């Protein structure tokens, strides 16, 4: 019996898999001893392994699939400091202080990730970007101005521009927009491949096709049982299983969402002036970014996940709708899809991740990167869990806890 429900986490061919990743895995040795086991080899697992190995722990990483074959290749890697829930709305849910802390910590996570990519010299097409946040049915233009004022009040690197300012900056024609600095884009597969290469070069152990089916703990140890009956004893275990959520770690209000994406042929001369990330204050929203080889990625049209078959059957209509919406925004671009794919992500009522010790399993941790900031939240999770295991207090741990 598996600990988590196995899902088909993506369908279609993400553009990032033009060059499939090459990562060396190991066999599972019964003689080896490790401090920490991480379950999951996507972006969350990779950043977690890097953070824990960096402070001196011996780390074992396990995955039921091939390495990095879950949700990570379906990511569009818009590395944003902004949360899915507007700051003005989050203030009503959490209060101004906690809402500000959530937004500021997200921005700090992007900076930390950029620094780590630079330190390790990972070639992942990382590029700092500004984000253009357009009005929609969630925030109209007047409400967008209030949102900008709230962001400015907590020190976010944002400014509001009117129609002319937006046209001058990007060529887009909308009533106005918030433009925010401190964001980035990257190739998620190259990013994770670089992290795993460094991890294994430093002596970390990476094992694929090994499924954990049970977990229990004593006062000082965690025992993981694999599908083939092996027992792994470690001091701590971290479940970075993405949207295959460990049942006992599932918070209230959590749900799985389906999302769809297209990537065009390369057309670098058609990319908007600023090259910024673009997204709408809308539901369902549209988002766009470009790639290093001049493609344009557009995505959105999210809806609640029911099953893989229904999600896949909806792909042609969803991709066509995304292309039509993007075409209205950027009429000069050819949005004929050269790649199209769908995937899963998690959604929470407040748009925040859930990270921390699992109730009833104090030596086990879960990383649930809800919302559209998955990679940003993965970096945040690596910081929070690493500090907790070291016995260091993080002032934001309770804000993001399970």
The per-residue pLDDT for range 236-269, each reduced to its tens digit, is 999 998 767 676 776 777 777 888 999 999 999 9
pLDDT grade for 349, boundaries at 50, 70 and 90 = confident
pLDDT value at 6 more than 60? no
Within its chain, how far is the Cα of 189 from the centroid? 12
| Average per-residue pLDDT for the chain | 91
The predicted pLDDT at position 357 comes to 94
Q: Average pLDDT in the 205-220 region? A: 93
pLDDT value at 2 more than 60? no
pLDDT value at 218 more than 80? yes
- Is the pTM of the predicted complex or chain greater than 0.85? yes
The predicted pLDDT at position 31 comes to 57
Going from the C-alpha of 107 to that of each of 46, 58, 356, 379, 397, the distances in angstroms are 20, 29, 20, 11, 16
Q: Average pLDDT in the 1-13 region? A: 58
The per-residue pLDDT for range 379-397, each reduced to its tens digit, is 999 999 999 999 999 999 9
C-alpha triplet 299, 372, 199: angle, nearest 5°: 110
Q: Average pLDDT in the 86-92 region? A: 97
pLDDT value at 401 more than 60? yes
Q: Beta partners for 258?
A: 303, 344
Contact 84, 78 (CB under 8 A): no
Contact 123, 194 (CB under 8 A): yes
Give the 3-state DSSP-derived string for 223-291, with helices as H, strands as E and coil as C.
EEEECCCCEEEECEEEECCCCCCCHHHCCCCCEEEEEEEEECCCCHHHCCCCCCEEEECCCCCEEEEEC
pLDDT value at 104 more than 70? yes
3-class DSSP assignment, residue 83: coil
3-class DSSP assignment, residue 5: coil
Nearest to 61 by CA among 273, 288, 232: 232
What does the alpha-carbon distance between residue 224 and residue 218 come to, in Å, rounded to a whole number? 12
pLDDT value at 99 more than 90? yes
Q: Average pLDDT in the 320-344 region? A: 94
β-bridge pairing 78-79 and 176-185: antiparallel
C-alpha triplet 346, 246, 107: angle, nearest 5°: 45
pLDDT grade for 213, boundaries at 50, 70 and 90 = very high
Share of the chain above pLDDT 90, in %: 74
Which H helix or E strand runs over 385?
A: helix 374-389
Strand order in the sheet with 59-62: 205-207, 59-62, 36-39, 236-239, 361-368, 354-358
Exposure class string for 209-235: b at 16+ Cβ within 10 A, else e = ebbbeebebeeeebebbbeeeeebebb
The predicted pLDDT at position 24 comes to 72
3-class DSSP assignment, residue 344: strand
Q: Average pLDDT in the 125-139 region? A: 97
pLDDT value at 224 more than 50? yes
pLDDT value at 7 more than 60? no
Contact 199, 48 (CB under 8 A): no
Percent helix / strand / coil, the chain, rounded to 5: 35, 25, 40
Contact 195, 120 (CB under 8 A): yes
Which H helix or E strand runs over 152?
A: helix 141-153
Contact 197, 207 (CB under 8 A): no
Helices (H), 19-140: 43-54, 87-94, 96-120
The predicted pLDDT at position 9 comes to 47
Q: When comparing pLDDT for 201 and 371, which is higher? A: 201
What does the alpha-carbon distance between residue 94 and residue 351 come to, in Å, rounded to a whole number? 11
The predicted pLDDT at position 32 comes to 73
């Amino acid at each position: 019996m598996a600990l988590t429900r196995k899902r088909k986490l993506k369908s279609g061919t993400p553009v990032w898999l033009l060059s499939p990743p090459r990562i060396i895995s190991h066999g599972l040795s019964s003689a080896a001893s490790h401090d920490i086991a991480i379950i999951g080899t996507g972006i969350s697992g990779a950043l977690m392994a890097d953070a824990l190995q960096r402070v001196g722990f011996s780390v074992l990483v396990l995955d039921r699939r091939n390495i990095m074959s879950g949700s990570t290749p379906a990511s569009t890697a818009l590395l944003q400091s902004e949360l899915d829930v507007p700051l003005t709305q989050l203030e009503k849910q959490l209060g101004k202080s906690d809402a500000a802390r959530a937004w500021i910590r997200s921005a700090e996570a992007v900076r930390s990730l950029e620094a780590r990519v630079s330190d390790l010299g990972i070639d992942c097409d990382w590029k700092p970007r500004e984000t253009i946040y357009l009005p929609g049915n969630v925030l109209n233009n007047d409400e967008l101005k209030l949102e900008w004022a709230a962001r400015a009040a907590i020190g976010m690197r944002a400014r509001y521009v009117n129609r002319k300012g937006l046209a001058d900056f990007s060529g887009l024609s909308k009533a106005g927009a918030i433009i925010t600095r401190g964001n980035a884009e990257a190739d998620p597969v190259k990013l994770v491949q670089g992290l795993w290469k460094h991890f294994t070069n430093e002596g970390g152990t990476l094992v694929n096709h090994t499924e954990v089916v049970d977990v229990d703990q004593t006062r000082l140890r965690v025992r993981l049982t694999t599908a083939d009956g092996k027992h792994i004893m470690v001091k701590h275990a971290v479940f970075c299983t993405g949207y295959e959520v460990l049942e006992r770690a599932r918070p209230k209000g959590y749900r799985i969402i389906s999302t769809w994406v297209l990537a065009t042929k390369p057309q670098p001369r058609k990319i908007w002036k600023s090259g910024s990330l673009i997204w709408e204050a809308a539901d369902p929203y549209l988002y766009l970014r470009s790639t290093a080889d001049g493609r344009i990625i557009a995505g959105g049209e999210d809806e609640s996940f029911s099953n893989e078959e229904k999600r896949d059957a909806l792909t042609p209509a969803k991709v066509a709708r995304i292309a039509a919406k993007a075409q209205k925004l950027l009429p000069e671009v050819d949005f004929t899809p050269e790649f199209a794919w769908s995937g899963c992500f998690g959604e929470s009522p407040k748009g925040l991740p859930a990270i921390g010790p699992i109730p009833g399993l104090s030596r086990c941790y879960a990383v649930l990167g809800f919302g559209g900031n998955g990679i940003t939240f993965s970096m945040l999770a690596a910081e929070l869990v690493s500090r907790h295991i070291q016995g260091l207090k993080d002032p934001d741990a309770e804000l993001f806890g399970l």
